[in-house]
Amino acid sequence: MTGKELFEIWAPSDSIWSQWASPALFAQIDCTEEGAPAQVGGPAATWHEQTARPDSAVVIDLPGADSIRLVLALAERGYRPVAIINGSPGPISLQLNFLPRPNNSSSQSVVVLDKSSLVREICGGTQRLQRLDFASDAPPAFMLDSLRLKGTNPLRDDMFDNRWMVFPQDFPSARFLADHKIKRMTLVQTGKTQPQEV
């Protein structure tokens, strides 16, 4: 699938939440059948609800692939995934995130934030997402990458800096959420008790 096809599956035009999905990540993904993983792993933790609560939204702020795994598990319970991952996987068109290496350094990454596992989870999980039917008023599950500012590799001058930030306008307003009967927001994260600043 091309990035455009992937984005149309993850951000369908009939979902009110798709206007907050970021196309930046999908623009450079090209999933090939032979490169996709045979089976995508599930999230480490179980979710406390068997079905989505119509008045509840979720924000998943876990490291890369973990966010994708959990949002797919929530999708199976009726939550609509919304990818707010506003960053590029790398400086070139991508084939399952196999990025070229610098000429003089075959072992060093060319990106500050390695999204290869995240991209593999999207490629492997898209068919799973396609098989699901969502209610027209399905509540949203917004997914972020908690490594967005930190990155995964030490910064060097010759690297593509693909870190990114989240701003208030990347989410629906409190008024919009209330107008669509969302009364509760659950934040999923690890290693801290307070949300990252947004």
pLDDT in tens, 4-13: 999 999 999 9
Regions of the chain short of the pLDDT cut 50: 34-40, 42-44, 93-106
Could you tell me the pTM of the whole model? 0.84
What is the distance between the alpha carbons of residues 198 and 189, in angstroms, rounded to a whole number?
A: 14
| Contact partners, residue 15, CB within 8 Å, separation at least 6 | 80, 134, 138
Greatest alpha-carbon pair distance for the chain in Å reads 56
Q: Which two tokens stand for residue 93?
A: 């068109």
pLDDT given at position 108: 65
pLDDT given at position 81: 97
Q: Which amino acid, 107?
A: S
Residue 94, judged by CB atoms within 10 A of its CB (0-12, 13-18, 19+), counts as buried
Which of 151, 35, 142 is closest to 95 using CA atoms?
35
What is the distance between the alpha carbons of residues 54 and 160, in angstroms, rounded to a whole number?
A: 41
pLDDT given at position 90: 79
pLDDT given at position 43: 47
Cα angle for residues 111, 113, 114 (degrees, 5° grid): 80
pLDDT given at position 39: 46
% of the chain at pLDDT higher than 70: 82
What is the distance between the alpha carbons of residues 164 and 35, in angstroms, rounded to a whole number?
A: 27
